[in-house]
Amino acid sequence: MTENLDDIIEFENENTELDFKAIQYQKVKFQDLLKDLMSMANAKTDADKYIIVGVKLLGNGNRDILGITEDFIDEATYQQLVHNNIEPELNFSYVSYQFQNKTLGVFKIFDSIDRPYMMKKDFGKLRIGEAFIRKGSHQTRLTRKDFDFYTEKKITEKRFKGKIHTYFDEINQKSIALKTLSNGDYPSDKAAEKINKILLEKKEKLKKTEGMFVSFFDQDIPMLGGTPYENRSIKTLEGNLENVAETYREDDLHYLFEVKAHKFNFRILNDDTEYLEDASIELKIEKEGLYIADKIYSKPDNSNSIISLKYELNPPSWESMNYPEVIETETEYLILENLGDLKHQISENGLKVDLRIAINPKLNKAEKIVKIKIFGKNLSKPIEDQLIIKVIE
């Protein structure tokens, strides 16, 4: 509705946003005023609504400008009446307005954003919990359909409509170059090399020993805190060599993911004026040629002494507790992370803890697409984006 009151009074007909009243609301008409204001506030429009007092609308569309001849009722009287009887708080003003040398009263109902408005106690024939709505030039009780409209509108208005940026070091950087795995001896390789060397030395020594002393020289010599390879028999060492990969599995995984792998992360920015509520993120990366850790692999304590017990009792690290959930399928890795409320205009890491990614050298010069989905309580559908990993030597 336009703010040009002269045009409204002279030309407009009654509708959802406009009503004319011939006489001022005296005390005996307070019940009618409550119903009229409530109906206007509940109308399914966000525009300002008006009740013009002192104008009689005729059947042919003409109008009599009667004006208010009695004492003009102070706005505070009406405000107190509405405050005491309608909930939630209904925003309106009531002022005098001069038109064609006559005094009119103008109710302006505005910012009706907390619908439905209803009676919070009995007043006259109006009962607690009753609510009315203006549709066209008529008033009617609120129906279930009206309540559903208000609920859906509130949900829609709360939905996030802003932009989420994902990037690397700078806002428009959507790709990053990562090197393939370099050569390097894993703990199991070093252990195998050491065992082979000791085996060779022991076998050479046995060749020089008379047969009756073989069993004396080739036996395990247990020691407190664990038996070094040098003090183990040939049979034991051969068994150690056969199982070296399994024995050093945790060491190898720690070396792979904590020493050689990339610590992968990215930035996320909520470029809006509202929070993205209860946000979470999902990454999908094609699996071929990649090794992604499913957890933080801490450096194992390989001592067998009782002293090592103190390490086993240590609580998990913050990184271990906050590492993203990694799900491995036949074809891809799925990475899941809860972000909580994503504050606006503050850049933060997309993952609380860096993802450990190692790349097979056979993947050189390839590109890996990181498909991103961002979810939120106030999102009608997920936000989709992607980043690119460019593989180099």
**Is 126 found in the same domain as 59?**
yes
Domain count, the chain: 3
196, part of any domain? yes
11, part of any domain? yes
Cis peptide leading into 361, omega within 30 of 0?
no
CA atoms within 13 A on the CB side of 116: 23
For residue 217, the model assigns a pLDDT of 59
Cis peptide leading into 187, omega within 30 of 0?
no
255, part of any domain? no
For residue 227, the model assigns a pLDDT of 80
For residue 2, the model assigns a pLDDT of 40
How far apart are the C-alpha atoms of 364 and 341, rounded to whole Å?
Answer: 38
Q: Are 191 and 247 in contact (CB under 8 A)?
A: yes
**Is 172 found in the same domain as 309?**
yes
Q: Which two tokens stand for residue 101?
A: 């040398």
**Is 214 found in the same domain as 174?**
no
Percent of the chain with pLDDT over 90: 71
Q: Are 326 and 293 in contact (CB under 8 A)?
A: yes
How far apart are the C-alpha atoms of 337 and 278, rounded to whole Å?
Answer: 11
pLDDT level of residue 309 (50, 70, 90 thresholds): very low
Q: Which residue has the tokens 């074809």?
A: 331
CATH number at residue 141: 3.30.950
**Is 380 found in the same domain as 362?**
yes
Q: Is the pLDDT of residue 1 over 50?
A: no
- Residue 326: CB atoms within 10 Å: 16
**Is 276 found in the same domain as 223?**
no
Residues pairing with 19 in the sheet: 51
For residue 311, the model assigns a pLDDT of 47
Question: Residue type at 343?
Answer: K
- Residue 105: CB atoms within 10 Å: 23
User: pLDDT by residue (tens digit) across 139-148?
Assistant: 999 999 999 9
Q: Is the pLDDT of residue 110 over 90?
A: yes
Q: Are 57 and 20 in contact (CB under 8 A)?
A: yes
List the one residue out of 358, 393, 363 whose CA is nearest residue 258: 358
For residue 162, the model assigns a pLDDT of 78
From 143, 158, 173, the end of a domain falls on: 158
User: pLDDT by residue (tens digit) across 238-269?
Assistant: 899 899 999 999 999 999 999 999 999 999 99
For 346-379, b/e burial (b = at least 16 CB within 10 A) is: eeeebbbbbbbbbbeeebeebebebebebbbebb
For residue 310, the model assigns a pLDDT of 45
User: pLDDT by residue (tens digit) across 206-220?
Assistant: 777 655 555 555 676
**Is 334 found in the same domain as 303?**
yes
Where are any strands of DSSP class E within 49-128? 49-53, 55-57, 63-65, 86-87, 92-99, 102-109, 118-119
For residue 211, the model assigns a pLDDT of 55
How far apart are the C-alpha atoms of 388 and 74, rounded to whole Å?
Answer: 67
Task: Please name the residue ranges forming H helices in 72-186.
Answer: 75-85, 144-158
CA angle 354, 161, 114 (to 5 degrees): 125
278, part of any domain? yes
**Is 152 found in the same domain as 219?**
no
175, part of any domain? yes
User: pLDDT by residue (tens digit) across 23-66?
Assistant: 999 999 999 999 999 999 999 999 999 999 999 998 887 899 99
Percent of the chain with pLDDT over 70: 91
List Cβ neighbours of 171 (8 Å cut-off, separation of 6 or more). 165, 269
**Is 310 found in the same domain as 223?**
no
CATH number at residue 283: 2.60.40.10
Q: Is the pLDDT of residue 90 over 80?
A: yes
Q: Is the pLDDT of residue 182 over 90?
A: no
For residue 313, the model assigns a pLDDT of 56
214, part of any domain? yes
**Is 120 found in the same domain as 64?**
yes
From 247, 275, 295, the end of a domain falls on: 247
For residue 136, the model assigns a pLDDT of 93
Task: Please name the residue ranges forming H helices in 208-255.
Answer: 214-217, 234-242, 244-247, 249-254
**Is 267 found in the same domain as 368?**
yes
**Is 124 found in the same domain as 172?**
no
Average confidence score pLDDT of the chain: 90
**DSSP letter string over 257-321?**
IIIISEEE--EEEEESSS-EEEEEEEEEEE-TTEEE-SS--PPP----SGGGHHHHTSPPPHHHH
pTM of the entire structure? 0.60
Q: What are phi and psi of 174, to 5 degrees?
A: -105, 0
For residue 214, the model assigns a pLDDT of 54
Q: Is the pLDDT of residue 381 over 80?
A: yes
For residue 306, the model assigns a pLDDT of 42
3-class secondary structure, 347: coil
User: How many angstroms from the chain centroid is the CA of residue 195?
Assistant: 53
User: pLDDT by residue (tens digit) across 328-364?
Assistant: 999 999 999 999 999 999 999 999 999 999 999 998 8
256, part of any domain? no
Q: Which domain holds residue 359?
A: 163-184+261-392
pLDDT level of residue 305 (50, 70, 90 thresholds): very low
How far apart are the C-alpha atoms of 116 and 123, rounded to whole Å?
Answer: 18
21, part of any domain? yes
pLDDT level of residue 80 (50, 70, 90 thresholds): very high
Q: Which residue has the tokens 């859906």?
A: 152
For 254, 264, 294, 296, 313, the CA distances from 316, given in Å and listed in that order, are 15, 21, 15, 10, 9
Q: Are 129 and 85 in contact (CB under 8 A)?
A: no
**Is 206 found in the same domain as 97?**
no
